[in-house]
Amino acid sequence: MKLGILSDSHGRHERTHKAVQLLLSKGANQLAHCGDIETEQVIDQLVGIQAHVVFGNCDPDWRVLSRYALGLGVLVQHPLARFECGGRTFAMTHGHDSDCVTAALNEGVDFLLHGHTHVCRDERHGATRIINPGALHRASEFTVALLDTETDQLQFLVVA
C-alpha cells in the first residue's frame, strides 16, 4: 500500500489537484490530508480515492467543512485521526495542538502524520515515525509525501 500525504493547502485547490494527481501517478492507494484545508474546493480534490482528513488552526469553519467532506465520502476524524493502511497504524493531527501529538505518541502508533510547520519532517520518536509532508502554500517548495507501508520507503515530492 502507498499512502499519499499532504497538508496546508490553505484553499489552493488548483495546487492541491496537482498534488493529488502527482501522488496518484506514483501509485498512492489512499490519501491523508493533515489540515489547513480552508475551502470545499480543496476537499473536492480528495474525492474518488479513500481519503482521511483532519482540520487545522486555519480551518475555523471545520464543522461545515466536515459535513461537506463526509457527504462526499471523505473520512473525517478531528482533531486526531486514527486509521490503518497496509497493516500499519496511523495517527494524524494538524500539529498545532500538542495534546493531540502527545496522545498519538503515547498510543505507540507506527506513524504520526502532521502538518502546520510547512516544513518536511521524517524522524523517529521511540517506535513511532513522525512525518510532515511539507506544505502546498507558504513554503519555499510545495511538497507532499508518499509512504510505501510495505517497504517503509518515504519520498518527498515537489509539486510544480
Q: Where are the domains of the chain?
A: 2-158
DSSP alpha helix (H) spans, the chain: 13-25, 40-44, 62-71, 98-107
Q: What pLDDT does 134 receive? A: 98
Question: For 152, phi and psi rounded to 5 degrees?
Answer: 65, 20
- Our CA angle for 80, 141, 93, nearest 5°, is 5
Average pLDDT over residues 135-157: 97
Q: What pLDDT does 62 receive? A: 97
What confidence category does residue 99 fall into, taking pLDDT thresholds of 50, 70 and 90? very high
What confidence category does residue 118 fall into, taking pLDDT thresholds of 50, 70 and 90? very high
- Our CA angle for 70, 113, 50, nearest 5°, is 35
pTM of the shown model: 0.97
Burial of residue 96, with CB atoms counted within 10 A of its CB: 0-12 exposed, 13-18 middle, 19 or more buried: middle
Average pLDDT over residues 14-28: 98
Percent of the chain with pLDDT over 70: 100
492541491: which residue's cell? Answer: 16
Q: Check if the beta carbon of residue 102 is closer than 8 Å to that of residue 121.
A: no
Q: What pLDDT does 154 receive? A: 98
Under CATH, domain 2-158 is a member of which superfamily?
Metallo-dependent phosphatases (3.60.21.10)
- 3-state helix, strand, coil split of the chain in percent (to 5) is 25, 30, 45
Q: What pLDDT does 29 receive? A: 96
Q: Check if the beta carbon of residue 23 is closer than 8 Å to that of residue 31.
A: yes
Q: Check if the beta carbon of residue 36 is closer than 8 Å to that of residue 115.
A: yes
